[in-house]
Structures are given as C-alpha cells and as structure tokens.
C-alpha cells in the first residue's frame, strides 16, 4: 500500500511542477504540510521526494527544505533516453498504422524505442500526452496536432516542449506561430485538381463533405471552392456539408440524403477522406442509386479499404510510410543538432471506377 501511496504523491508533485504550479527555485511545502495534504506518512513523502530528486525535479537544502530544481534544463544531448514520442489523433485505425510503421522501421534501426499516444482528436488528451512525453524525458516528439483548424491552440503546452529543449516536429498539419518543422501533404492543391477533373467530366453539381476542425479538412474545402471559383458560370451549383470530428454523423448523413433526393441532386460527391467516402457509398446504394452511373464519388488518402469496395474508390494518394520514414529521419537529425527543412508532399490523384463522365458531357462528345 505504501508503494501505491508513494507513487501517487510523486506523480501529483511532478504534475504540479510540470504545470508551473511550482516554478524553478520555488520552495515546496514542508514534509509535515505534504503529509497533511496527501494524508500519508513521513516515510511516503520522503520516498516520493527522493525519487523526484533523482529525476532532477527537486533539490534539498540541509535544514532549509525542498526546492524545485531546473528540471527543464537537465536534458543533455549525451544523456538521452533513446525514446521518441509520437502523438497522433487516431492511433490504431485508418492511415496511421502505416505512418507509424514507417517511423518505427527507421527509429528501431537507430536504437530508439517509441512511446505512442492517441488523442482521439481531442485537445485535452493532447495536453496530457505532451505532459506525459515531457515527464518521460523523451528525446524527441512527433505530433499530429488535434483539431488544428480551431482558433484556440495548445501554445502553452508546445512552449513547454521548447522550454524542455525537446526536438519536435508536426505531421499532417502545422501552426505558423511555431517554428517547429513539419511534414504535410498539399491538401488544397490535390482537392482542387480532383474537383477540376470532375468538372471537366461534366459534373456541375458536386456535393463536398468536409471535416473542418482540422487543417487537412479546411484546406481540402478551400481547394474544392477554389476549383469552382475558377468556373464562375457554375460556381453557384456547388454544395457543401461541413462538420466537426466531435459531431454525431447521423444528421450529416441525413443532410446528404436530402441533397441526393432533391429536385436537382448532385451528380458527384467529394468526401473529406476515404473513410467517409466508403460510408457515403453505402448511403448512396441504400437510396437505390448506382455508383458511378447515378452518382460519382471520390475520397482522399488512398485508404486500403478503398481498394476492396465495389466500385473501387477514386482517391488521392497519401505518402503514409514515406511520411513516417521522413519524420523519423528528421527527428534523429534534430536530436543530433542538424538543421532540417519542412516538406510538403505533392500528391497523385488515383482515378478508379467510382467516377464517370456525365450523360450530358458524353452527348457533347
């Protein structure tokens, strides 16, 4: 039981220090005050304090009490833990396993191990993950930011990474306010090209469905709208459905059904990603509409499951493993003090059987 109590006290004090409740140089409460605060024995307090002292979070002055150490400056390049933290929005599904696989291949080959954290695209989870990575004294952090398009950002937590001298980089999205390097895809350009392609195939009424609380979705929406703006004669025919990752999707699908059953239904649907596109294919088929004869549909990211649906899904390539490999190489270079450059991947469009020219366009030819 004393082991459990000691660990609880240690974690709580460590959290208070990392969160800035006690700054470097601050005097901590006395042993007696901490005993009362945590309702534990003096032995438990001393054991917790001893561990924190070993980890350079506190130091003791004989007869003068306990003080917060310069814990953020205790990280030394030659004293690394050989651990890299990876914080993603969705760890075990969609495209992320292949990104992590690429990262792990390079890092393990260089003697590093991984600490993985899944935020479920929630910023509070991201805050806790960052604190955990700092507490574990990782040598570097690779972050896919959560809800990256929303105005409030976890800048104070990213600042803690900088203060702790931990190399960090972003994947899939980045914040211009920070000087962290990043790896991301050119979402805007790829979505614009895909929309242009559908318009060239005769599709005038296209429904765009985009998750807009992350930068990927916001940029894909912009690409969709920019393509229409380049065709002012049909720009008024575009339709959009926007949603956030925290929303119940049932009302979103109902809005899509209403659009598909309207007097002037869309002849094509562009989806935020392949996962949504596969769900929409089921919705379209439930309305006794045929793909692509009645409705063309495209996704984004080249998700493996899109290869097995019928018809095979038209999509945009995402450099999953390559992004993981590049991220691993970059973070190792940063740990070794080398300068790295951010990179934005140009994507290839993959045309499959889920799209076709409209009857009107075929008649013209």
How does pLDDT run across 5-45, given as a tens digit for each residue? 888 899 899 989 888 888 888 899 999 999 999 999 999 99
Contacts of 294 (CB under 8 A, 6+ apart): 284
pLDDT of residue 77: 42
Q: How many residues does the chain have?
A: 365
Tell me which H or E stretch contains 88: strand 83-88
pLDDT of residue 50: 87
pLDDT of residue 355: 98
Q: Name the nearest CA neighbour of 52 among 1, 17, 3, 2.
A: 17
Is pLDDT larger for residue 51 or for residue 356? 356
For the cut 90, the answer to whether the pLDDT of residue 137 exceeds it is no
| DSSP code string of 95-110 | THHHHHHHHHHHHHHT
For the cut 60, the answer to whether the pLDDT of residue 362 exceeds it is no
Tell me which H or E stretch contains 269: strand 268-271
For the cut 50, the answer to whether the pLDDT of residue 1 exceeds it is no
Q: What's the mean per-residue pLDDT of the chain?
A: 90
Percent pLDDT > 90 in the chain is 62
Ranges in the chain annotated CATH 1.10.10.10: 2-73
pLDDT of residue 144: 94
Q: How confident is the model at residue 364 (pLDDT cuts 50, 70, 90)?
A: low
**Quick one: average pLDDT of 212-222?**
96
Is pLDDT larger for residue 137 or for residue 288? 288
Residue 117: CB atoms within 10 Å? 18
Ranges in the chain annotated CATH 3.40.50.2300: 81-185+320-345, 187-318+349-364
pLDDT of residue 361: 53
pTM above the 0.75 mark? yes
Cα dihedral value 83, 89, 91, 97, nearest 10 = -90
pLDDT of residue 140: 95
Q: Which residues pair with 25 in a beta bridge?
A: none
Q: Name the nearest CA neighbour of 276 among 246, 255, 306.
A: 306
pLDDT of residue 146: 92
CATH T-level assignment (fold) for domain 81-185+320-345: Rossmann fold (3.40.50)
For the cut 70, the answer to whether the pLDDT of residue 360 exceeds it is no
pLDDT of residue 153: 67
For the cut 60, the answer to whether the pLDDT of residue 78 exceeds it is no
For the cut 80, the answer to whether the pLDDT of residue 64 exceeds it is no
pLDDT of residue 76: 47
Distance from C-alpha of 237 to C-alpha of 60, rounded to nearest angstrom: 71
Write out the CATH class of domain 187-318+349-364.
Answer: alpha beta
Architecture of domain 2-73: Orthogonal Bundle (1.10)
pLDDT of residue 365: 47
Task: Specify the 3-state DSSP secondary structure of 67.
Answer: strand
């Amino acid at each position: 039981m004393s082991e459990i109590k000691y660990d609880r006290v240690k974690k709580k004090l460590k959290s208070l220090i990392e969160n800035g409740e006690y700054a470097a140089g601050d005097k901590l409460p006395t042993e007696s005050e901490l005993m009362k605060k945590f309702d534990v024995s003096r032995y438990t307090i001393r054991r917790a304090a001893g561990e924190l002292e070993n980890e350079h979070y506190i130091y003791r002055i004989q007869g003068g009490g306990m003080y917060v150490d310069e814990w953020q400056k205790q990280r030394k390049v030659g004293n690394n833990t050989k651990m890299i933290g990876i914080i993603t929005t969705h760890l075990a599904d969609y495209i992320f396993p292949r990104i992590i696989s690429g990262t792990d291949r390079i890092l393990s080959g260089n003697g590093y191990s991984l600490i993985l954290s899944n935020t479920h695209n929630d910023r509070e989870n991201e805050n806790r993950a960052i604190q955990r990575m700092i507490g574990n004294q990782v040598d570097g952090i690779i972050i896919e930011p959560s809800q990256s398009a929303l105005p409030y950002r976890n800048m104070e937590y990213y600042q803690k990474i900088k203060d702790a001298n931990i190399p960090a980089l972003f994947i899939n999205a980045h914040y211009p306010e920070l000087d962290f390097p990043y790896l991301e895809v050119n979402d805007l350009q790829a979505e614009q090209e895909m929309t242009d392609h559908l318009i060239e195939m005769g599709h005038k009424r296209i429904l765009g469905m985009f998750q807009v609380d992350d930068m990927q979705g916001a940029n894909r929406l912009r690409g969709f709208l920019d393509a229409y703006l380049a065709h002012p004669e049909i720009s008024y025919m575009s339709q959009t459905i926007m949603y956030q990752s925290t929303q119940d999707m049932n009302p979103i699908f109902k809005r899509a059904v209403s659009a598909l059953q309207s007097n002037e239904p869309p002849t094509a649907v562009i989806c935020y990603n392949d996962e949504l596109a596969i769900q929409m294919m089921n919705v379209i088929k439930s309305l006794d509409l045929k793909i692509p004869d009645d409705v063309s549909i495209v996704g984004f990211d080249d998700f493996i499951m899109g290869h097995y649906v019928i018809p095979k899904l038209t999509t945009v390539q995402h450099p999953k493993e390559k992004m993981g490999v590049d991220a691993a190489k970059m973070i190792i270079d940063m740990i070794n003090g080398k300068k790295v450059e951010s990179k934005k991947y140009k994507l290839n469009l993959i045309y499959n059987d889920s799209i076709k020219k409209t009857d009107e366009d075929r008649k013209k030819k």
